[in-house]
Amino acid sequence: MTADAARTELRSIADSLQHYVEILKEGGLGGLPRTLHMSSPQAHPQARPQPPSPAEDRPIASPADIDGQALDSLAALRDAIGDCRRCKLCEHRTQIVFGVGDPHAELVFIGEGPGADEDLRGEPFVGRAGQLLTEIITKGMKMRREEVYIANVVKCRPPHNRNPETDEIAACEPFLRKQIELIQPRIIVALGAFAAQTLLQTKTPISRLRGVWHTYQDTKLMPTLHPAYLLRNPRDKRLVWQDIKAVLREMGRL
Ligand code: URA
C-alpha cells in the first residue's frame, strides 16, 4: 500500500470513529465503550468491522444481486447482504438494521429508515417513535411485538435523519422486496409518507393514501401516519386508530 493510500484509509477510519462518537453523544452517552463494534456481533456474527470503501470501489446494487441467489430464509438473506457497501449510507452507519420479529408474520410494519437509537441498537423502532409503535401493537392491537415483523425501506441510518435518497432506496429495495417475499405476510402497514410513497411508487400525499387499502407485491397494504409524526401531533392518533381497526378487521381480530 502506498503512503497516500494508507493516509486516505486512516482518514476514513478516523472519520468513522468521529461519527460513532457523535452518535454516542446523541444517544446521551458520555464516553466510548471499552470495546468498539462497528457492526453488532450478535446481529451478524460473521461481519467484521471494516473502514468504508471509497465510493468508486462499491458495486452498484441491482436486483440480480439478491435474486440470483437461492435465498430461502431471512437468515440467508441477511447473510447475503453481508457488511453491505452498496450505497453511501454505509459510510455513516454503526450497523445494518435488518428487521425484527416473526419470520412468518401475518402482519409487517415498514418504516422509513433507522434513526440514532436504531443505528446503535441494530433493531428497528426502538426509540421514542418505536415505543409508540410498540404501544399501538400491544395496547391497541392486543398483539405481541414478536408476533409481527418490523423493518424499514432502507437498512442503514441516513445521516442527521435526512430522508433516504433515490440511489440509496434503489440499492436497498431488493432487500425489502425479498424480505416480504420470504415472510409472505397477509398485510403490510406502511408507516408514514416516505414508506407509503416509496412502496406504492407515488407522490400522493399520505393524507390521501392513509385509511385506504393498496397493494404491494400482491399483498394488501395499509398506509398510516408515522409514529414520530404522532408524537408531535397526538390529536391525529384517532386517524391511526381508524387505520389499525381496518387492519384488525381484515385479520379477523375485530
Ligand atoms: N423511524 C423509522 O422510520 N424507522 C425506525 O426504525 C425508527 C424510526
Instruction: Give me the number of domains the chain comprises.
Output: 2
Task: Determine, yes or no, domain membership for 205.
Answer: yes
* Cα-to-centroid distance, 52 and ligand 1 (Å): 23
Looking from the CA of residue 150, the nearest atom of ligand 1 is: 6
- pLDDT, residue 66, reads 72
- pLDDT, residue 9, reads 52
pLDDT at residue 27 tops 70: no
* Cα-to-centroid distance, 41 and ligand 1 (Å): 21
Q: Is the CB of 112 under 6 A from ligand 1?
A: yes
* Cα-to-centroid distance, 228 and ligand 1 (Å): 8
The larger pLDDT score, comparing residue 11 to residue 243, is at: 243
Same domain, 2 and 106: no
Same domain, 1 and 95: no
* Cα-to-centroid distance, 72 and ligand 1 (Å): 26
Q: Is the CB of 101 under 6 A from ligand 1?
A: no
* Cα-to-centroid distance, 162 and ligand 1 (Å): 12
Q: What is the DSSP string of the chain?
A: --HHHHHHHHHHHHHHHHHHHHHHHHTT--S--SS--SS-TTT-TTPPP-PPPPGGGSPPP-THHHHTS---SHHHHHHHH-S--SSGGGGT-SS----EE-TT-SEEEEES---HHHHHHTSSS-SHHHHHHHHIIIIIS---GGGSEEEESSSSPPGGGPPPPHHHHHHHHHHHHHHHHHH--SEEEEEHHHHHHHHHT----HHHHTTS-EEETTEEEEEE--HHHHHH-GGGHHHHHHHHHHHHHHTT--
- Domain containing 210 equals 61-251
- pLDDT, residue 217, reads 95
Same domain, 141 and 165: yes
Which among 100, 134, 152, 197 is the best mutation to test ligand 1's pocket, defined by most ligand atoms within 8 Å of the CB? 152
Same domain, 39 and 82: no
pLDDT in tens, 147-180: 999 999 999 999 999 999 999 999 999 999 999 9
The larger pLDDT score, comparing residue 70 to residue 41, is at: 70
pLDDT in tens, 29-66: 333 333 333 333 333 333 333 444 444 444 444 444 67
Task: Determine, yes or no, domain membership for 109.
Answer: yes
Same domain, 151 and 241: yes
**Mean pLDDT across the stretch 186-202?**
98
Q: Is the CB of 152 under 6 A from ligand 1?
A: yes
- pLDDT, residue 70, reads 80
Task: Determine, yes or no, domain membership for 45.
Answer: yes
Same domain, 14 and 82: no
| Placement of cell 402497514 in the chain | 189
Angstrom distance (rounded) from CA 24 to CA 100: 23
Task: Determine, yes or no, domain membership for 25.
Answer: yes
CATH number for the domain spanning 85: value is: 3.40.470.10
CA dihedral (188, 194, 198, 202) in degrees, to 10, reads: 110
In the structure, what pLDDT confidence band is assigned to residue 12 with cuts at 50, 70 and 90? very low
Which among 93, 112, 154, 172 is the best mutation to test ligand 1's pocket, defined by most ligand atoms within 8 Å of the CB? 112
pLDDT in tens, 114-152: 999 999 999 999 999 999 999 999 999 999 999 999 999
Task: Determine, yes or no, domain membership for 228.
Answer: yes
Same domain, 78 and 127: yes
Angstrom distance (rounded) from CA 189 to CA 125: 14
* Cα-to-centroid distance, 5 and ligand 1 (Å): 36
Same domain, 219 and 164: yes
Residues in a beta bridge with 223: 190
* Cα-to-centroid distance, 152 and ligand 1 (Å): 7
Same domain, 151 and 191: yes
Single residue among 50, 72, 89 that ends a domain in this structure: 50
Q: What is the DSSP string of 202-232?
A: ----HHHHTTS-EEETTEEEEEE--HHHHHH
Cβ contact 51:9 at 8 Å: yes
Task: Determine, yes or no, domain membership for 102.
Answer: yes
Q: Is the CB of 130 under 6 A from ligand 1?
A: yes
Q: Kindly report the three-state secondary structure assignment for every residue of 109-141.
A: EEECCCCHHHHHHCCCCCCHHHHHHHHHHHHHC
Its pTM surpasses 0.85? no
Same domain, 182 and 80: yes
* Cα-to-centroid distance, 191 and ligand 1 (Å): 9
Angstrom distance (rounded) from CA 111 to CA 102: 17
Mean of the per-residue pLDDT values for the chain? 83
Cβ contact 103:74 at 8 Å: yes
Percent of the chain with pLDDT over 70: 74
Q: Is the CB of 115 under 6 A from ligand 1?
A: yes
Closest C-alpha residue for ligand 1 atom 7: 125
Same domain, 98 and 194: yes
Task: Determine, yes or no, domain membership for 65.
Answer: yes
Which among 97, 125, 150 is the best mutation to test ligand 1's pocket, defined by most ligand atoms within 8 Å of the CB? 125
Same domain, 44 and 101: no
Task: Determine, yes or no, domain membership for 130.
Answer: yes
